[in-house]
Amino acid sequence: MGMTFEPKVLNVEQLEPFKIRDVRQSILDKIQERIEQAGYNPSRPLSVVQKNGKYIVADGNHRLEVIRKLGIQDVPCVVYQDDPYSIATKSNQDEDTYAPMDLFDWLDVIRKLQEDGLTQAKIGEVIGWVQQNVARYLKTGNLTPQVLSLAKKYQEGRGVKNTPSGVFDFTEGWFRNSGIYDLMPVDQMELMRWFVEDKKCDAKAKSVKDKAAELQFKRNSKIYVAKELMRPADQAKFLEIIQSFYSQIDHGYIKSHDQLEKLVNKKNVDWEDENRIKIIHADVFDVIDNYQAGTFDLLIADPPYKVLSDEWDTFKNKDEFIQFTERWLKRVMPKIKDTGRAYIFFSQWYEFDLYEVLRNNDFFGMNFGQKLIWYYRNNNQPSNRKEYRYCYEPIFYLYGKNAGELNFTADTYGDDQMNVWEEAMPQSNFKEGKNHPAQKPLEIYRKIIKTGSKMGDAVLDPFAGSGTTGCVCKELNREVVMIEKDLDYCKLIQTRLVV
Ligand SMILES: C[S@@+](CC[C@H](N)C(=O)[O-])C[C@H]1O[C@@H](n2cnc3c(N)ncnc32)[C@H](O)[C@@H]1O
């Protein structure tokens, strides 16, 4: 369709802005600098539309603002006889436009046309798009204003500079492929925050989709839990149970609907009775004396050993740490039967100190068996080139004065009878997962529990962490008491035990 137009020099007073999009300060600055240096470029006339005796600036609103500011009177224009929207949107797509239209400009234009009562098809005609494209943009436009304005804040070319996460060119396609449309508004906001505020602006499309799927899974899980646990007899207990589930979901301990279903159906399990597994949420020093001396057949202790930055593993200095070690050993070791055994995990940095503490205390009335070695190859920390790379942790093995033989059976034949056990350090991508920074491999605990105890024996783990001991005791039919002072870890243990 032909379009009539006529070049004309107009006085700035005759021009009226037609703002279908936000004016951006960075563009104003750029244009002002150019005009101040080289004067107004006559080969870039403003596109205006004559309407009711006025000239509406369909394209060139940034330039108009600068022209006014600089007091320029005569402005080269091209006068069109057409719809200003149509001229504006077409001009703004030109390759050499000063400020190309971005997603948010298009959303504004389309919304305004929709407010004017135009159908999707008609909007498409005005701006030269197929209707499907208009429909897609309207879908993006239907996201909550909070989500859109957060995205806009980080949109490339718009105001925000030097944000910690950088900026991003949000497009309709990005929204369509992000998985955000499948989420509830609160999670849409969560996804957007994650993307722009948690420095994920460069996240690949796949990670964004995965994050959206994770948020959706968590939301559906909460809905499922709420539905399944409806009509409670005791309101206070109900809230407590629900909160406990929600916290496990939020922490990401629950990975599949199947796990969740099992967990929900065991909601009233009394761990002590049903599985002979006891989880005690407490500081070991506060509860250990609830057990008499000589109660347990097997101790597996994986105590804090001053290597991680977590609060529970932090000590002022080495002295404080060694004193702590001696303190818990003095309280815990007497609880082992004289027929029992103890396995103590420690860091190789301090293994000589541990040995000294044990010797100074006459090995707490036990025999020092030997140092077992858990050997792993998946430590990526490079050597400092004066020393070799660290790839093992010592496990001190002691046995009671009246202990019988180790439980070597057909099942423990071979490597289990050696004193070096190779097993990779748990990683989050392993089948058994990793939700605790110091989680130990199930297989190492199997070797200990199989060889160091018998079916029905009583096991104590005073620093339970993620409950590796409990998982193996359940599998191998041992009774177990696990003590853990962090409530979240206690919940993690429950999750691991039912799934
Ligand atoms: C090395 S981690 C145990 C990891 C565990 N073996 C596993 O496989 O997951 C030690 C745990 O002891 C807990 N802890 C530290 N001091 C404690 C105390 N005084 N009483 C009870 N638990 C404590 C910490 O919260 C931490 O989870």
Cβ(483) – ligand 1 distance below 6 Å: yes
Give the pLDDT confidence score for residue 273 in this predicted structure: 45
First to last CA, the chain: 68
Percent of the chain at pLDDT exceeding 90: 49
Cβ(45) – ligand 1 distance below 6 Å: no
Cβ(439) – ligand 1 distance below 6 Å: yes
Nearest CA to ligand 1 atom 19: 283
Query: What average pLDDT does this structure show over 220-230?
Result: 82
What does the block give as tokens for 159? 């105001």
**Domain around 390:** 270-498
Q: Please state, in angstroms and rounded to a whole number, the distance separating the CA atoms of residues 273 and 393.
A: 35
User: Which of 68-72, 132-136, 261-265, 467-471 is the least confident region?
Assistant: 261-265
Q: How far is the CA of 484 from the centre of ligand 1 (A)?
A: 6
Query: What average pLDDT does this structure show over 42-63?
Result: 86
| 159 in a structural domain | no
| 117 in a structural domain | no
For 250-303, the pLDDT digits (tens) are 888 888 898 888 888 775 544 444 558 888 989 999 999 999 999 999 999 999
The answer, yes or no, to whether residue 181 has pLDDT greater than 60, is yes
Query: What average pLDDT does this structure show over 321-339?
Result: 98
Confidence of residue 1 (pLDDT cuts 50, 70, 90): very low
| 196 in a structural domain | no
Decide which of 101 and 151 is more confident.
151
Q: Which of 48, 74, 101 is the last residue of a domain?
A: 101
Q: Which ligand 1 atom is the nearest neighbour of the CA of 436?
A: 9
Q: Which ligand 1 atom is the nearest neighbour of the CA of 465?
A: 27
Give the pLDDT confidence score for residue 303 in this predicted structure: 98
For 116-144, the pLDDT digits (tens) are 899 999 999 888 889 999 999 999 999 99
Residues sharing a CB contact under 8 Å with residue 166, sequence separation 6 or more, in sequence order: 154, 199, 201, 202
The answer, yes or no, to whether residue 2 has pLDDT greater than 80, is no
Q: Which ligand 1 atom is the nearest neighbour of the CA of 466?
A: 9
The answer, yes or no, to whether residue 431 has pLDDT greater than 80, is yes
Nearest CA to ligand 1 atom 3: 465
Give the pLDDT confidence score for residue 406 in this predicted structure: 95
**pTM (2 d.p.):** 0.64
Q: Which of 286, 484, 496 to mutate to test the pocket of ligand 1 (most atoms within 8 A of CB)?
A: 484
- Residue pointed to by tokens 């090995």: 363
Evaluate the CA torsion angle 114, 119, 121, 122 in order and state its sign: negative
DSSP 452-488: H--TT-EEEESS-TTTHHHHHHHHHT-EEEEEES-HH
Evaluate the CA torsion angle 184, 185, 189, 192 in order and state its sign: positive
Residue 247 backbone class (left: φ over 0; alpha: ψ -120 to 50; beta: rest): alpha
Cβ(468) – ligand 1 distance below 6 Å: yes
Cβ(335) – ligand 1 distance below 6 Å: no
CB 78 within 8 A of CB 48: yes
Cβ(312) – ligand 1 distance below 6 Å: yes
Q: Which of 32, 67, 101 is the last residue of a domain?
A: 101
| 290 in a structural domain | yes
| 219 in a structural domain | no
Decide which of 452 and 97 is more confident.
452
| 175 in a structural domain | no
**Burial readout 9-18 (b: 16 or more C-beta within 10 A, e: otherwise):** ebeeeebeeb
**Residue 90: how many other CB atoms lie within 10 Å:** 17
Cβ(393) – ligand 1 distance below 6 Å: no
The answer, yes or no, to whether residue 462 has pLDDT greater than 90, is yes
Confidence of residue 323 (pLDDT cuts 50, 70, 90): very high
Query: What average pLDDT does this structure show over 143-162?
Result: 83
How would you classify the pairing of strands 54-59 and 46-51?
antiparallel
Query: What average pLDDT does this structure show over 27-47?
Result: 81
CATH number of the domain that 47 lies in? 3.90.1530.10
Nearest CA to ligand 1 atom 25: 486
For 82-99, the pLDDT digits (tens) are 888 888 877 766 545 667
Cβ(440) – ligand 1 distance below 6 Å: yes
| 231 in a structural domain | no
CB 416 within 8 A of CB 450: yes
Q: How far is the CA of 49 from the centre of ligand 1 (A)?
A: 74
Cβ(87) – ligand 1 distance below 6 Å: no
The answer, yes or no, to whether residue 160 has pLDDT greater than 80, is no
Beta-strand ranges (E) seen in 84-134 are none
What does the block give as tokens for 476? 């191998």
CATH number of the domain that 381 lies in? 3.40.50.150
Cβ(436) – ligand 1 distance below 6 Å: yes
Give the pLDDT confidence score for residue 270 in this predicted structure: 44
| 118 in a structural domain | no
Decide which of 217 and 240 is more confident.
217
**At 310, which amino acid appears?**
D
Q: Please state, in angstroms and rounded to a whole number, the distance separating the CA atoms of residues 435 and 486.
A: 13
The answer, yes or no, to whether residue 232 has pLDDT greater than 60, is no
Q: How far is the CA of 302 from the centre of ligand 1 (A)?
A: 7
Cβ(485) – ligand 1 distance below 6 Å: yes
Give the pLDDT confidence score for residue 177 in this predicted structure: 93
The answer, yes or no, to whether residue 494 has pLDDT greater than 60, is yes
Q: Which of 101, 134, 165 is the last residue of a domain?
A: 101
pLDDT averaged over every residue in the chain? 87
Decide which of 299 and 100 is more confident.
299
Number of domains into which the chain is organized: 2
- Residue pointed to by tokens 């989050």: 428
